[in-house]
């Protein structure tokens, strides 16, 4: 019997929601790391029992947690309780929390500046990990997207991290600027057919791609139009909120930008707007059906100034044609007095025969649909504000 595990990161801890394949009855465990912000919790495809979590706090900084038993128990990689606190060479452990920009001559890039809100330049400074993306094939390899925007990689299960400095060192860095939530690298997608190709997205710099495993990167923002920046078609500076792809077609990506929903059919070389009949094309999340590469989901949000659903009605929109034609999905969702938001990492799909779709809200609800979005029901209603939702489909 198949099983589904939903990993939920919130403002005050992590929760693990599990169900059998029917997805009617759910067991809720948590809060794990109570009182801490969990920006992202994601399981490894290569070893589903291995789950990585980004735990942080304005008081105590960044911590990385790992579970090797499907979320039942957690340790900071390299420092499990009861183990020696030093490594074989006598060096102290505790490196798993350490994210240091690589400015070495050999592998790094100089620590330059990016644009600040007031237009001045400000040096890069690490703040937190927004997104953890495990390798699709190696359970010890995981990527981290951080604020201020950069990508790190661990090849030892999260014990130590090294920056892939070619991205931060891209010559356009001084033109990158923080979005309202900070200058975060929030999306990492590893091409399932070519592990040397990785896509990332940064608010507010845009989307970037590497074709050589992270050594060099290039902006892939042609076709994006952002009227709120000095040059609306600039190479960088766009506030990309989220990108998603279907594993069978890694050249086709879908994007929810600050405003506009877009797609590319050539791995980001050029984008076309597919907002079509959406009631508003502002939003944060976007995801793709597990079995239908042209079926895409978004949650329209009223505007950048009003981060809640239009008319107080929480609705998912689905396109079965790869964009432009969208249908409202609202059965089981609140259709009055609903003023929550759905943040960029808070939607995911499972891969059961009838694709399940899940999303979490800033009101603490996690909604699930076991029939590709036709009908919805809350799994939980009263969690802390939800920051991220990921799903594991287990045999």
Partner 1 sequence: MIRVILPPHLRGLAHVSGEVELEVAGQPTQRSVLDALEARYPMLSGTIRDHITQQRRPFLRFFACGEDLSHEQPDAPLPDAIASGTEPLLILGAIAGG
Provide the H-helix boundaries in the chain.
165-168
Calpha distance 239→370 (Å, rounded): 32
What tokens appear for 60 in the block?
A: 């105590």
Binding residue for partner 1, selected from 22, 29, 100, 104, defined by CB under 8 A: 100
For partner 1 (CB under 8 A), the number of binding residues is 24
Binding positions for partner 1, 39-58, rule CB under 8 A: 57-58
What tokens appear for 252 in the block?
A: 């086709």
Quote the least distance from Cβ 31 to partner 1, whole Å: 11
Q: What are phi and psi of 218, to 5 degrees?
A: -140, 145
What tokens appear for 348 in the block?
A: 């995911």
Calpha distance 104→94 (Å, rounded): 22
Binding residue for partner 1, selected from 72, 92, 113, 272, defined by CB under 8 A: 92
Write the CB contacts of 95 (distance below 8 Å, at least 6 apart in sequence): 78, 159, 160, 161
Is residue 123 within the footprint of partner 1 (CB under 8 A)?
Answer: no
Is residue 97 within the footprint of partner 1 (CB under 8 A)?
Answer: yes
For partner 1, the closer CB: 123 or 232: 123
For partner 1, the closer CB: 61 or 181: 61
What tokens appear for 332 in the block?
A: 């089981």
Calpha distance 36→54 (Å, rounded): 10
Q: Which stretch binds partner 1 (CB under 8 A): 72-80, 244-252, 308-316, 365-373?
A: 72-80
Q: Which stretch binds partner 1 (CB under 8 A): 92-100, 276-284, 356-364, 368-376?
A: 92-100
- What is the contact mask toward partner 1 in residues 303 to 342, using x (rule: CB under 8 A)? ----------------------------------------
Is residue 90 within the footprint of partner 1 (CB under 8 A)?
Answer: no
Binding positions for partner 1, 6-45, rule CB under 8 A: 33-36
Please answer whether residues 9 and 387 qualify as being in contact, where contact means their C-beta atoms are separated by less than 8 angstroms. Answer: yes
Task: Report in angstroms the alpha-carbon separations of 263 from 55, 103, 127, 272.
Answer: 32, 35, 31, 5
Q: Which stretch binds partner 1 (CB under 8 A): 78-86, 304-312, 369-377, 378-386?
A: 78-86
Using DSSP, state whether 97 is helix, strand or coil. Answer: helix
Using DSSP, state whether 386 is helix, strand or coil. Answer: strand
Binding site for partner 1 (CB under 8 A): 33-36, 57-63, 76, 78-79, 81, 85, 92-95, 97-100
């Amino acid at each position: 019997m198949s099983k589904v595990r939903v990993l939920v990161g919130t403002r005050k801890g992590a929760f693990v929601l599990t169900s059998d394949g029917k997805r009617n009855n759910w067991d809720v465990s948590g809060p794990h790391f109570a009182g801490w912000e969990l920006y992202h919790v994601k399981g490894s495809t290569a070893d589903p029992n291995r789950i990585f979590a980004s735990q942080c706090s304005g008081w105590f900084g960044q911590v990385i947690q790992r579970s090797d038993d499907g979320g039942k128990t957690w340790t900071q990689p390299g420092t499990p309780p009861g183990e020696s606190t030093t490594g074989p060479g006598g060096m102290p452990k505790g490196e798993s929390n350490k994210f240091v920009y690589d400015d070495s001559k050999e592998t790094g890039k100089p620590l330059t500046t990016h644009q600040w809100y007031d237009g001045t330049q400000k040096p890069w400074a690490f703040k937190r990990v927004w997104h953890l993306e495990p390798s699709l094939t190696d359970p010890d390899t995981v990527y981290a997207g951080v604020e201020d925007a950069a990508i790190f990689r661990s090849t030892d299960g999260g014990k130590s991290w090294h920056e892939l400095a070619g991205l931060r060192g891209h010559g356009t860095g001084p033109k990158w600027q923080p979005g309202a939530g900070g200058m975060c690298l929030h999306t990492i997608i590893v091409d399932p057919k070519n592990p040397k190709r990785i896509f990332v997205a940064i608010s507010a710099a845009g989307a970037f791609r590497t074709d050589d495993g992270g050594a060099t990167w290039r902006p892939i923002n042609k076709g994006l139009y952002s009227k709120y920046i000095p040059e609306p078609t600039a190479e960088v500076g766009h506030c990309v909120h989220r990108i998603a792809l279907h594993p069978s077609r890694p050249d086709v990506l879908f994007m929810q930008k600050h405003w506009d929903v877009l797609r590319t059919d050539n791995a980001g070389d050029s984008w076309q707007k597919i907002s079509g009949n959406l009631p508003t094309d502002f939003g944060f999340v976007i995801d793709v059906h597990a079995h239908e590469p042209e079926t895409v989901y978004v949650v329209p949000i009223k505007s950048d100034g009003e981060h809640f659903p239009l008319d107080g009605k929480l609705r998912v929109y689905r396109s079965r044609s790869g964009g432009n034609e969208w249908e409202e999905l609202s059965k089981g969702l609140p259709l009055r007095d609903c003023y929550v938001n759905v943040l960029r990492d808070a939607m995911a799909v499972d891969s059961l025969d009838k694709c399940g779709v899940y999303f979490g809200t800033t009101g603490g609800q996690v909604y699930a649909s076991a029939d590709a979005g036709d009908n919805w029901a809350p799994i939980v209603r009263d969690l802390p504000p939800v920051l991220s939702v990921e799903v594991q489909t287990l045999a």
